[in-house]
Amino acid sequence: MSFDVTRRREAPSGVWKKMVLVNGQSPGPLIEVSTGDIVRVKVNNLIWDESTTINWHGIHQRNTTWMDGVAGISQCAIPPAKSFTYEFEIIDQRGTFCMVPVNARRRTLPDVILINGLAVFTNCNFTSSTWSSFMPPICEPSSRQFTTPMPNTTTRFRLINHSSFTYLYFTIDSHPYLTIIEIDGVEVEPITVPGIHLNIGQRYSVLVSPIHSTTTGSFVMRATIPKSCFLPYVPYTSEILESVNHQGTALLSYSPNPNSSLPQNIKPVVDIPQNCTNPPFNLPVPIRKMAAFPPDTAHPSRNTHQINFQFQQAGPTSYSPLPHSAQLWLSLPQTLDSGSDPGSYNNYNFPLNQQVLFLPDPNKTVQIAINSRDIMEHPFHLHGHTFQIVA
């Protein structure tokens, strides 16, 4: 299949903004595959003034690291008017994953939360906090996403937080329980919860059942920003987000003739946890058991690293891939040596924003301690791997 990546003005919420589209749509096309399948996608960069890649978020890329799609790390970005074909095998993975266009000019903080690319916002008197243009704001009619499951059936929802900055909490009105069955591509024993915490890039599969066998009508699905987890730490306000209670809405309808209008007499907001913490790390139990990775007791420090991260203002903050310097390819001809301290950083003559963690024992267990020195929460993931959390 082919992906045409473009940038143009669209109004999924009723307000026109520039968007990155894949095959003219957002969200992009759905790819359904089975374990063992080969994925082959030709990406055509039709954005005239910037490079791009497609990151296959969550796919392990066994033996095809160069197909991961991270500009400046695993490949050089695709220049304007050029193409690149991604080809890789799905090896022993199941679940929900997402494709992310990685562009040079990544946009700012949100004004609107979209669910499946749609939202309703009709008040053009508000000023966007994140978008400026020489053109006045243009309002168009918009609608909500609505989902219509089969009557008296349990439906699997695949939830993806596709934002680049905001943590979300997903709920369905009058549905007190959602059942988690998959987290970030790992099938787990069922976990019953009132709502789903979705951090940036996270994916969950949940089962949703009607309240009763005779349930009819429509119910509001909400993706809400927990304000105490986000706003106190970010010098950012949005009149538009405040006007919709910092939430995006869609509809779950058991009616034969649904529409995108909100039901009558609904609550404007719902109670959501504000403690900003993850559930106990041993709560999810993988269905497909895996033996614990054995520690390297003979040389415990050789494959042990500490990663400390903190957000700091350091000049211009717009992300820009490094041209002609994909880190994977630049590292291949080098002789890497961990030096006197195997767990230390060493940039091996790379730029300061291209760090290298050297593993002297590639076939042994790696232990990574991650320390957040920032007051705002932020997820951490390592491309090509699924972690075993031990502490």
Instruction: Supply the pLDDT for residue 156.
Output: 96
Find the length of the chain: 391
| Closest among 188, 348, 197 to 279, alpha carbons compared | 197
Query: What mean pLDDT is reported for the chain?
Result: 82
What's the whole-number mean pLDDT along residues 250-267?
A: 77
Please determine, for residue 22, whether its predicted confidence score (pLDDT) is greater than 80. yes
pTM: 0.89
For residue range 89-117, list pLDDT tens digits in order: 999 999 999 988 887 555 577 888 999 99
Asked if residues 220 and 262 have their Cβ atoms less than 8 Å apart, the reply is: yes
Answer yes or no: is pLDDT of 222 > 90: yes
Contact 78/205 with Cβ under 8 angstroms? no
Contact yes or no for 169/113 (Cβ under 8 A): no
Does the structure show a pLDDT above 60 at 354?
Answer: yes
Q: State phi, psi for 346 to the nearest 5 degrees.
A: -155, 125
Of 93-107, 329-343, 354-368, the one with minimum mean pLDDT is 329-343
DSSP letter assigned to residue 219: E
- Of 67-76, 277-286, 347-356, 361-370, the poorest mean pLDDT is in 347-356
Residue 137 has pLDDT above 70, yes or no: no
Predicted local confidence at residue 205, as pLDDT: 97
Q: Which residues pair with 182 in a beta bridge?
A: 187, 205
Q: Is 168 exposed, middle or buried (0-12, 13-18, 19+ CB in 10 A)?
A: buried
Nearest to 286 by CA among 186, 185, 191, 184: 186
